[in-house]
Structure 1
Amino acid sequence: MKRSTKLFCFLLCICLPLFTSCATTTITDTWKDKTYQGKAQNMVVIMVARTQHLRNMFEGRFVAELRARGNNATQSNKIVTFEELTDKELVKSKIKSTDADTVLIARLVDSKRIETYEPGHIKGIPIAYSYWGTYYAIVSVDYGYTDDIQVAYVETNLYDVKTEKLIWSARSKTERSGGEQHLINTFINRIVKKLSSDKIIK
């Protein structure tokens, strides 16, 4: 086997876990107020997060996705500081002082880390050399690897700002082997699509 071919096989075995790493979001339960008419015109997005950085990342990405679909939306961190989020009445007062008609609140209900192991495989590949027709068994090694899967359970609620009534609610489970950014993106894409299919947004 040529050296370049050996190198390619070796790199493929090492990099395979990176290429197959992915995230999936499953919506386990949804509810919508059947009396609610029309679509949300101007939404404030709140992420109840453990850090300011995580809150900013989530709200910024969520608002960007809503705007990309032609919806008006604002990050709550433009209205309420991280420290003020613990004061429910202050948060309501500040949001009501804007022209927002709905507020979406996402909060992490639970999270887990699950360690998984993907076993490796060893197989022989018959290769013919020259016209003598002699075959050699070239051993191909697919190395096993251990992966940590992060599972996040999130509750997402949408309220009418004026009446404070619940309009729409969803519970979801997101699985991701990797960083928070990809987990957040996958979750947001799924939730926004569901909001759209339920006729809440464009």
Structure 2
Amino acid sequence: MKTILRNVSHKLVYIMPILMAAFLWSCASSTRITGTWKTPKPPTEKYDKLVIAALTDNVRARQQVETDMQAQFQARGINVTKSIDIFPPTASSKGGPDVDLLLDKLKADGYNGIITVALIDEKTETRYVPGNYGYAPMTRFGWYGRFRGYYSYWYPTLYDPGYYTEDKIYFLETNLYDESTENLVWSAQSQSYSPSSLRNASEKLAEITVSQLARDGLIK
């Protein structure tokens, strides 16, 4: 029985760091919705013609976020236009397009909703990454009864020291506004934890946002 318990203990000591590393890797990069809000009196008709506006002066980020959002909406048969296509960035428009001109353009073209995406906060988190453990293979028999065998069985441990790393956490807000009233209809706060790239975070944000809007009954 002691031999069996020792073998089980040995396997757990070997496997647990691997499982922990896999868990940390899965948590290392993720984007998820942390909260949503919907107006108590949503419109009876679903939104089917939208404009996507990423509120940032970073042209690359704006293009990526709006493109990914557009793709997710279009996959559901919803007519979507990127704000960057309506008002392309210029050297003289660092403050963004004129709001009145934007609304006049949307009304004239028959849009009924506006989706905005904004980075509202970010923070840096220090995380400790534990080292990896492993054991050299040993014969199953003859090691427990004598000190030399027992010592030789447990001692040859490979140890990779742990280290500290810094992760970025981004907090984003996505809003849906009714074009005719300009009122906020729906809002969601999202958290992107240490994204591996802008593209991966943007694609995931678009996927979960559009799915949540559909679940909340605001789009088809």
Q: With structure 1 as the length reference, what TM-score do the two structures score? A: 0.78
Instruction: Compute the displacement of 1:132 (Å).
Output: 8.8
Per-residue CA shift, 1:15-71, capped at 9, x if unaligned?
A: 969954421313224123424112111111000013111000000000001111222
Residue 103 of structure 1 pairs with residue 121 of structure 2? no
Instruction: Report 1:6-25 matches (<5 A).
Output: 20=26, 21-25=28-32
RMSD: 2.9
Instruction: Report 1:5-154 matches (<5 A).
Output: 20=26, 21-82=28-89, 83=93, 85-128=96-139, 138-141=156-159, 144-154=162-172
Asked if structure 2 preserves the Cα contact closer than 8 Å seen for 1:147 and 1:177, the reply is: no
Per-residue CA shift, 1:90-142, capped at 9, x if unaligned?
A: 2222222322111111111111222212121434344229x998875653445
**Counterpart-to-counterpart distance in 2, 1:145 and 1:189:** 34
Gaps of 5+ in 1: 1-11
Distance 1:70 1:144, change over 3 A: farther
Instruction: Compute the displacement of 1:189 (Å).
Output: 1.8
Asked if structure 2 preserves the Cα contact closer than 8 Å seen for 1:106 and 1:155, the reply is: yes
Partner of 2:6: none
Q: Which amino acid aligns with 1:28?
A: G
Gaps of 5+ in 2: 1-17, 144-148
Aligned pairs, how many?
A: 188
**Counterpart-to-counterpart distance in 2, 1:65 and 1:35:** 22
**Counterpart-to-counterpart distance in 1, 2:54 and 2:158:** 47
Q: Secondary structure at the match of 1:85?
A: coil
**Counterpart-to-counterpart distance in 1, 2:186 and 2:102:** 20
| Greater radius of gyration (CA) | 2
